[in-house]
Amino acid sequence: MEGLSADRPAPGFEGRPIHTMEAGDLLAVLKLGLGDFLRAPLFGLVIGGMFALIGAVIVLSLTIWEMPWLIYPFAIGFPLVGPFAAVGLYEVSRRLAAGARPSWHDVFAVVWAQRRREVAWMAFVMLFVFWVWMYQVRLLIALCLGLISFASFEQFVTVVFTTQQGLIFLALGHVVGAALAMVLFSITVFSIPLMLEREVDIVTAMITSVKVVLQSPVVMLGWGVFVTVSVLVASVPLFLGLLFVLPVFGHATWHLYRRALPQ
């Protein structure tokens, strides 16, 4: 298993044919993702648990800081950083597919090694987009609702859903959010696993990811919407659903990448 070493980079990216994805591919990778989770459940539960804990802490902090109106946009935008959080899951799937038994030392050695590779720069890109999302929410609140302070999340929901200004804010926010999410999804869904597997610069990886998405736009858009909605639903009970949903989708995304860019 020499090629799986965290200290030995994979061969340079030389360009691979892009497979046109179909709906059947999505079902197949979901089954593979579930299979990987069941074969190595502890990795998924720990990584999903860490992600869920971060989400719960941030929501609690927003409540303590008396900014409950940011909870909903935060929950909407939180999945945007999911692909980066799934790096460890990609590595688990990579080792399982190669016939290796993943260990905590090997998996986290690979994750830790990414700080010196292009994946680290992708983290900045994703966090920047997330920051833009949260900033535009506050901007839209100021433009649509004025300088209103909300005493509780319930009051914010009431204003948003029962006033004309609130409905305008809701519509504009979802349009802008959908655009940001689609851009981020297109540049990250395949670029992160590609950079994990091979020594590829971030620009090449993002361009390749966008090309793959454009090769099968309807199927990939459906995948993005399905993943986002599933993660949102899983986040409702204090993010506890992410213990299962995040690892399954993380493993599935690795297999989706290998189908889209076959060796």
Mean confidence (pLDDT) of the chain: 82
Write phi, then psi, for 199 (nearest 5 degrees): -80, 90
Q: What is the pLDDT of residues 76-121, one digit of tens each?
A: 666 666 676 788 899 999 999 989 889 988 888 888 887 777 777 8
- Could you please report the per-residue DSSP string of 160-192? HHHSHHHHHHHHHHHHHHHHHHHHHHHHHTTHH
For residue 155, the SS3 value is helix
Confidence band for 210, pLDDT divided at 50, 70 and 90: very high
113-168 pLDDT, tens digit each: 877 777 778 877 877 887 787 788 778 888 888 766 666 667 777 888 888 888 89
Residue 2 has pLDDT above 50, yes or no: no
pLDDT for res 252: 96
Residues 6+ apart with CB under 8 A from 212: 18, 189, 190, 220, 260, 261
Q: How confident is the model at residue 58 (pLDDT cuts 50, 70, 90)?
A: confident
pTM of the complete model: 0.80
| Predicted confidence (pLDDT) at residue 14 exceeds the cutoff of 70 | no
